[in-house]
Amino acid sequence: MNPQYQYDIFVIGGGSGGLTVVDEAQRLGKRVGLADYIKPSPHGTQWGTGGTCPNVGCIPKKLMHMTALIGEIRHELTATGWQGVDPHSKNDWNILVNEVQRQVKGINKGNDDWLIATNGITYYNKLGKLKDDHTIELIDKDGQSEFVTAEYIVIAVGSRPSFPTDIPNVKQLTITSDDLFSLKKAPGKTLVVGASYVALECAGFLTGLGYDVTVMVRSILLRGFDQEMAERIGEFMKIHGTKFIRGTIPSSIEDVDGKRLVKWVLNGQEQSEVFDTVLLAIGRSADTQNLGLEQVGVQTNKESGKIIANDADSTSVPNIFAIGDCVQGRLELTPTAIMCGKRLIKRLYSNGNQIMEYSDVSTTVFTPLEYGCVGYSEEAAIQKFGKDNLKIFTSEFTPLFWNFANRKGTCYAKLIVKKDDDVVIGFHYLGPDAAEVTQGFGVVIKLKAKKSDLDNVVGIHPSVAEELVQMQTWK
């Protein structure tokens, strides 16, 4: 302990990464300070402790996704002989939002109780700003400041939705995922702008909840992901009612009697349509403005605002670290922010030497046809190893129950295998319970298993996962 400073370590931002740092450091008996403050969205939406994931990210998103999947079962119940089920029954948005928010508030309360009751943690519901390399200014909601000092500082301020700069009043005329999960009024007919994780997940569950949903895609679906899988997700969503407008972006958005008149240009022609809600999901920007980074000498990418940190999470100022979504080149996922925070504290205080590895991280896109993957996409594998050096195994299948209950669409899986050593370098699965199926294959890929190892596994029957250990057809 360095008596020169009030805190051994001070964390700015109490999301997935920041809270992990706080927890790990207090367990080791360190004096820990935390500033977490939620700046309201342009519509004034605010939330409690825990950061993006439990409040406006993973948790409310998954609950709404699951609700939409449950809705699908209405049709299947009828098809499989259940009596008295109305397959056309409607979802009540207000009940759903209240239940989602009840769950979120429960998580907030757990965090609040822990932050207050744990010895060694001092929590400030204040905006943190760097004053010098060991001093943080803490500003409360009324603009009052106090200053604290720390030996180490960790920046974990996350990211917030981006807005286009060329559409007048865009912040007032649109909502983002920051507003959606607590929206007081049902979104109604919705235009979702964007085509990645957030856009497709939200479009998927809103369609499943019964809303008329159109996705406006600037270029491709799910940039960075295996494109064959991405296109199959789009096809499945189309079959299940989501509409797509591809190859354009809104040129203007206007208020017309409380609705949104959206115009765009496609193939040289101006087109327009009126929506109840426009949900922007065009990416996220690091929440690093007004953090005092420049003044203290912490380098950022001028364009994205992301903090530049080395493999050991150190910024250009050696005692200031940065983790999670606000750092350049990191995967923007809760479990990566958590593991990164854990490893940082082990390295700082318990002789740890492991840095965070960002390769072979499993992830799942919770679209109506869920997509789990780990390792290389087909495009990335071909670029790195060359097409002739790969075997790409694929399998299209329909889960037993889907056939039984007349569900439309098919599932698909792909394994990417290096010819020279038979190692599986890419796993892709489109089907039910993708996150549950993919987590185990994350271990397979991490252990550098060979295709022949998978061929030696006896499948579980009847299941969808058995498809993945008996793939014999390669492209």
Task: Map the footprint of ligand FAD across residues 328-357, applying CB under 6 A.
Answer: 332-335, 337
> Which of 291, 296, 361, 373 is in the footprint of ligand FAD by CB under 6 A?
291
CB 340 within 8 Å of CB 330: yes
CB 262 within 8 Å of CB 191: yes
Q: Which amino acid is at 26?
A: Q
Site string for ligand FAD, 395-434 (x = CB under 6 A): ----------------------------------------
Phi, psi at residue 195, to the nearest 5°? Answer: -145, 25
Whether 196 has a binding-site annotation, put simply, is: yes
Residue 231's contacts (CB-CB under 8 Å, 6 or more residues apart) are 221
User: Which CB sits closer to ligand FAD, 61 or 232?
Assistant: 61
| 35 lies in the site for ligand FAD, by CB under 6 A | yes
Of 154, 162, 88, nearest to 309 by C-alpha is: 154
> Which of 8, 23, 36, 151 is in the footprint of ligand FAD by CB under 6 A?
36
Closest-by-Cβ residue to ligand FAD is 15
Question: What Å distances lie between residue 222 and 73, 81, 170, 315, 415, CA to CA?
Answer: 27, 38, 24, 30, 19
Q: Give the DSSP H/E element, type plus range, for residue 155.
A: strand 145-155
Give the three-state DSSP class for 316: coil
Distance in angstroms (rounded) separating the CA atoms of residues 248 and 452? 45
Whether 431 has a binding-site annotation, put simply, is: no
> Which of 26, 41, 45, 52 is in the footprint of ligand FAD by CB under 6 A?
52
Residue 429 is given by DSSP the state: E
Give the three-state DSSP class for 445: helix
Give the three-state DSSP class for 208: helix
Of 391, 415, 411, 416, nearest to 401 by C-alpha is: 411
> Which of 157, 167, 222, 468 is in the footprint of ligand FAD by CB under 6 A?
157
CB 202 within 8 Å of CB 192: yes
- Least distance in Å: CB of 140 to ligand FAD? 11
- Least distance in Å: CB of 404 to ligand NDP? 29
Question: What Å distances lie between residue 390 and 379, 423, 473, CA to CA?
Answer: 11, 10, 13
User: Which CB sits closer to ligand FAD, 58 or 96?
Assistant: 58
Q: Give the DSSP H/E element, type plus range, for residue 468.
A: none
From the list ligand NDP, ligand FAD, none, pick the one residue 337 interacts with, judged by a Cβ distance below 5 to 8 Å according to partner type. ligand FAD
Whether 39 has a binding-site annotation, put simply, is: no
| 208 lies in the site for ligand FAD, by CB under 6 A | no
Q: How many CA atoms lie within 13 A of 229 on its CB side?
A: 32
> Which of 156, 279, 369, 434 is in the footprint of ligand FAD by CB under 6 A?
156
| 368 lies in the site for ligand FAD, by CB under 6 A | no
From the list ligand NDP, ligand FAD, none, pick the one residue 249 interacts with, judged by a Cβ distance below 5 to 8 Å according to partner type. ligand NDP
Reading across the β-sheet that carries 259-266, which strands appear in turn? 250-256, 259-266, 269-275
List interacting residues with ligand NDP (CB under 6 A): 164, 193-199, 201, 218-220, 223, 249, 281-284, 331-333, 363-366
Whether 325 has a binding-site annotation, put simply, is: yes
User: Which CB sits closer to ligand NDP, 8 or 201?
Assistant: 201
Closest-by-Cβ residue to ligand NDP is 196
User: Which CB sits closer to ligand FAD, 128 or 409?
Assistant: 128
Distance in angstroms (rounded) separating the CA atoms of residues 289 and 130? 11
Question: What Å distances lie between residue 305 and 40, 71, 345, CA to CA?
Answer: 19, 41, 25
> Which of 204, 208, 324, 372 is in the footprint of ligand FAD by CB under 6 A?
324
From the list ligand FAD, ligand NDP, none, pick the one residue 128 interacts with, judged by a Cβ distance below 5 to 8 Å according to partner type. ligand FAD
Q: Which are the catalytic amino acids?
A: 461
- Least distance in Å: CB of 454 to ligand NDP? 25
- Least distance in Å: CB of 333 to ligand NDP? 5
What are the binding residues? Answer: 62, 128, 194-201, 283, 325
Binding site for FAD, residues?
62, 128, 325
